[in-house]
Amino acid sequence: MSTIFSTAANLHPMFSLVTKSLSTRNIFSHTYPEKSYRTLHQIGSLSIPSWSLKSRSRHCVKSLLSDVHGQDKFSSVGARSTGPIAPNHLIEVVKTAAQTGAQVVMDAVNKPRNITYKGLTDLVTETDKMSEAAILEVVKKNFDDHLILGEEGGIIGDAASDYLWCIDPLDGTTNFTHGYPSFAVSVGVLYRGNPAAAAVVEFVGGPFCWNTRTFSATAGGGAFCNGQRIQVSATNQVERSLLVTGFGYDHDDAWATNIELFKEFTDISRGVRRLGAAAVDMCHVALGIVEAYWEYRLKPWDMAAGVLIVEEAGGAVSRMDGGEFCVFDRSVLVSNGALHAKLLERIGPATEKLKSKGIDFALWYKPKDYRADV
């Protein structure tokens, strides 16, 4: 199968985009039947499958990959469909919601901030809350029976819904507070646990010259920036790559491990950036201006939109140990695909070492009774 894909890709460079719309779930399972779901993590009242630790110890990170048209392919994170809601209708509501929140942010961007703290350095502003309220109004007006997970407001709505909206009303609040790009409004909607539609409104420019650009994607429908199709870069050498990472507020073992990864990749690449807004970082991978982004300890609202936009732009998504990713995971690596295995050669073992120390990498909080194919 890999030979067929590679030959077709050589005949026509757009073939790689076409193959992206095909489900890689079946390709993955047929290629690597050793993938195990025997270990279960308990979240609330639900048992959630994850990689078997025994299987993980027997097979190196590279064994998680399959060679498709010359790139290492990972299992798709996107939903197989948008369900009973038409894709064009769903994405229009998602974009409207994100742009409505972004207008709230734009109205406040050059004004004094009213800041409170969720932790020693973890900020929240009135703008975060007002943006989320504006987004919720759009979602409820169109889909009042959907479940919503907002960074500021928590869980709202019907847990029996197949749809879960993951909302970050202001990703990069610290940057916003200082008037420093990058920050964004991120809205992703899951269908049965997998991203179905996404929009990220990024603020670009700076004080007195702020502007925005809107990234969007639907599962199987491609990724766009301001309505134009985008694609990840073709760079296949780490030494020719610009990379991005992020650091959480807790200076724990995972933070220290990522400091070491930051140092190592800085030595062998064109550089590693730390912008401070996960959704923006992933959109930059999708746009092809950086090659990869990774981070520990993110939340669903940080990732739900960005991972779909990267995948639909032709990129790859996995956990930082190389395992199959879902938005309730505690780590993410997104890349242009061509570099994914090379990055995992260092990121994977570092993450496994953290797991051996007892660091919790079980799935993060998932709403109780929410039906999810993950």
In tens, the pLDDT along 231-280 reads 999 999 999 999 999 998 788 899 999 999 999 999 999 999 999 999 99
In tens, the pLDDT along 348-366 reads 999 999 999 998 888 887 8
- How distant, in Å, are the alpha carbons of 48, 173, 268, 305 from that of 239? 38, 32, 5, 29
Please tell me the predicted confidence (pLDDT) of residue 59. 35
Judge whether residue 66 has pLDDT over 60.
no
Q: What share of the chain is helix, strand, coil (3-state, %, to 5)?
A: 35, 25, 40
Q: Which amino acid is at 334?
A: V
Task: Give the rounded percent of residues in the chain with a pLDDT score beyond 90.
Answer: 66
Tell me the pTM. 0.80
Mean pLDDT in residue range 43-54: 32
**Secondary structure (3-state) at 223:** strand
Task: For residue 139, give the nearest of 110, 161, 114, 117 by alpha carbon.
Answer: 161
Q: Between 240 and 22, where is the model more confident?
A: 240
Q: Which residue has the tokens 């709202």?
A: 156
The dihedral through the CA atoms of 352, 355, 360, 362 has a sign that is positive
Q: Evaluate whether 354 touches 361 at the Cβ level (below 8 Å).
A: yes
Please tell me the predicted confidence (pLDDT) of residue 365. 75
Please tell me the predicted confidence (pLDDT) of residue 136. 97
- How distant, in Å, are the alpha carbons of 85, 89, 170, 321 from that of 142? 11, 10, 22, 38
Residue 151 is assigned to a ligand binding site: yes
Please tell me the predicted confidence (pLDDT) of residue 372. 86
Please tell me the predicted confidence (pLDDT) of residue 264. 97
Angstrom distance (rounded) from CA 241 to CA 73: 19
Task: For residue 244, give the nearest of 334, 354, 304, 180 by alpha carbon.
Answer: 334
Please tell me the predicted confidence (pLDDT) of residue 369. 80
Please tell me the predicted confidence (pLDDT) of residue 80. 95
Mean pLDDT in residue range 108-129: 71
Mean pLDDT in residue range 198-204: 98
- Name the phi and psi angles at 209, rounded to 5: -145, 35
In tens, the pLDDT along 137-192 reads 999 999 999 999 998 888 999 889 999 999 999 999 999 999 999 999 999 999 99
Please tell me the predicted confidence (pLDDT) of residue 366. 80
Please tell me the predicted confidence (pLDDT) of residue 116. 67
Judge whether residue 69 has pLDDT over 80.
no
Please tell me the predicted confidence (pLDDT) of residue 371. 81
Mean pLDDT in residue range 55-65: 35
Residue 329 is assigned to a ligand binding site: no
| Pure H helices in the chain | 2-11, 15-20, 25-31, 53-58, 87-108, 126-142, 173-178, 253-268, 278-287, 300-312, 340-356
Question: In the structure, what pLDDT confidence band is assigned to residue 72 with cuts at 50, 70 and 90?
Answer: low
Residue 158 is assigned to a ligand binding site: no
Residue 144 is assigned to a ligand binding site: no
Mean pLDDT in residue range 52-58: 32
3-state secondary structure 295-356: EECCCHHHHHHHHHHHHHCCCEEECCCCCCCCCCCCEEEEECCCCHHHHHHHHHHHHHHHHH
Comparing 23-27, 192-196, 206-210, 287-291, the range with the smallest average pLDDT is 23-27
Please tell me the predicted confidence (pLDDT) of residue 124. 66
